Structures are given as structure tokens and as C-alpha cells.
Chains A and B, each alone.
Chain A
């Protein structure tokens, strides 16, 4: 089954890096969002099974997206991908319901490890 993947980051460069880091053999359809509001629209429309979410963004940031997902009980598995690697940031996003935290800069090994850990890459 094709997984609907959403990459949300205000940086076009970071979105591209993220997309490149995802395993080629993973059956997926990727959409991009440049801020939190755009991401929520896509998730509400059902195109965000797995969301790779940046924290620091203008407008609605990653924390705001996590809060909204929880409040509206939206069906998204969120993996935070952030340059803010302080212990506090990691705790806060986990408490807000993020499934995992990946430190930027992202690479293929880190992405694969998380996808395997949560059974998203089964049978590959």
C-alpha cells in the first residue's frame, strides 16, 4: 500500500534533503508543505499518513502543528526532524505526541532506522 508522506519545512533545501534521504524502495507518495498551516490542510485532507515535521518555522511552527494534530485527533504519525536538538525540545515534542525525533542534518541511515523501528518499511 502506498504511504502518503508529507514533508513540512520552511526551507526548500531541507525539504529536498529530506525527500532524498527516504528509501527508494519505500512505496510512497510525497507532498510538501512550507509552513504549519499548509501542513495541517494536507493532513486534514488525508494526505499525511507519515509527516516529517520541522520545528522552527515562521507562522505556525512545528509545536503548533503537533498541538493541533492532537486537539483535532488527526490521523498522522509525526516524525520531528529538527536542528533544535536540545534535550528540552526533544522532550516537548514527545509529550506533544511526536513518534520520533531525528536530528538534522538528515541522512538516509537515520531515516531508514526510524522507519524500520516503527515498522513502516516492513518486508523490504
Chain B
């Protein structure tokens, strides 16, 4: 195995990633807003180099007694690959189901359908939004539910993440006036980071 190039991130690059994530999350939020007929609040995304332990802490923040559900979806294009992890707490899943079923144009949504559909919509739009801005066409894998009412530690162990330190984009969505929120974590593979940084540096030039 060839040694991986050092994973680094300078301030200008961080700012650029953040702005690109901001635009992509806005496109995804717009789709969710139109689906649910709500307003989605958009805080500033967080861009960081993280280690496995940091991810553990991030998940812990989202954790509460009710447990979490998460959907993971891989993406790859132009030699850049990563995993998107969309994490809901179970209250959000219930409220989301309530909101969609209330609109009532179809038979009730099962929790699985709901997790898969909302994840495809949010994750798909976000990945495409980032790809468009960087000139990369990402192919997206099928979403898979990796945690249903499981706690954060189990969630971490079930993901295929053979990495030590990598780039993470953390995007938080919450629906205005409702108890619905979720976190989208985009984790790039370690060896994708130098290639991504090159694309970013090109934009910054």
C-alpha cells in the first residue's frame, strides 16, 4: 500500500469548502422545504479535519435516550469518494412521518421508506450541489439504513470507515417551529482529500 499524502486544510480552503457546502445545503433544503411545505433553517456548515474519535463526539452530541437512525450513502467521481451519513433522532423521524402522512396523498409512509426517501432527497441534492460547483459528476450508491433506534457507538461500528483522519463536512438542518432536525455528515476518504484540495485551490486562484 502506498502511503497516503498528508491530509491538510488551510484557512482559505476551509472557507471555500464551507461556502460550497453552504450553497449545496441550500439547494437540498429548498427541495425538503417544497416537499414538506415548511421553512428549513440553515446554520453555517462546519468543515473540519476529523479523527475517528471526533466523529464519535459529534455523534454523541446528537445522541439522546431515544436513540438514532442513520442512513448512509456512498458517492464517487473523478477519483474522489466518500460516504454521506444522515442522522436523525427518533423524535424527528416520528414528527417527519406525522407531517408527511398528514398531507395524506398516499398510503402511510413506513419508517424505512421515509428514511430512505428523505435521505435520497437531502443527500442526493447536497452531493450534486457540491459536485456541480467543483466540476465533478458524482455517482451515488443506494442509501442503506445503518442504525434504527441504535445508539451512537453501534452506529459508528456499523459503518465501513477504514480511516484515521479525514475531511468532514457537517451540515445541520432543522425545520422551523417543529421538532424535526437532522445532521448530514459528508466524510471523504483520506486519499480523496488531496485531490479535492486541488479542485478547491483551483477555485481560489
Residue of B nearest to A11 (CB): B19
With A56-B43, A104-B26, A105-B23 as known contacts, state yes or no: A88 contacts B15, CB within 8 Å.
no
Least Cβ–Cβ distance between B122 and chain A, in angstroms: 13
Q: A75–B22 Cα gap in the complex (Å)?
A: 29
* Chain A count of residues within 8 A CB distance of the other chain: 19
Q: Which residues of B contact A56 (CB under 8 A)?
A: 22, 42-44
| Closest A residue to B29 using CB positions | A86
* Interface 1/0 per residue, B11-44 and A, CB below 8 Å: 0100110110011111101100110000110111
User: Is A14 located at the chain interface by the 8 A CB criterion?
Assistant: yes
A114 to chain B, nearest CB (A): 18
Contacts of B58 in A (CB 8 A): none
Cross-chain contact B22 with A87 (CB below 8 angstroms): no
Chain B facing A: main interface SS: helix
Residues 167-197 of B contacting A (Cβ, < 8 Å): none
- Tell me which of A85, A86, A105 contacts B39 (CB under 8 A): A86
Q: Does B94 contact A (CB under 8 A)?
A: no
A-B contact sample (18 more), CB < 8 A, given A83-B42, A85-B27: A11-B18, A12-B12, A13-B12, A13-B16, A13-B19, A56-B22, A56-B42, A57-B44, A82-B26, A83-B22, A83-B23, A83-B24, A83-B25, A85-B26, A86-B34, A86-B39, A88-B39, A105-B133
Residues on B facing A (Cβ under 8 Å): 12, 15-16, 18-19, 22-27, 29-30, 33-34, 39-40, 42-44, 133, 203-204
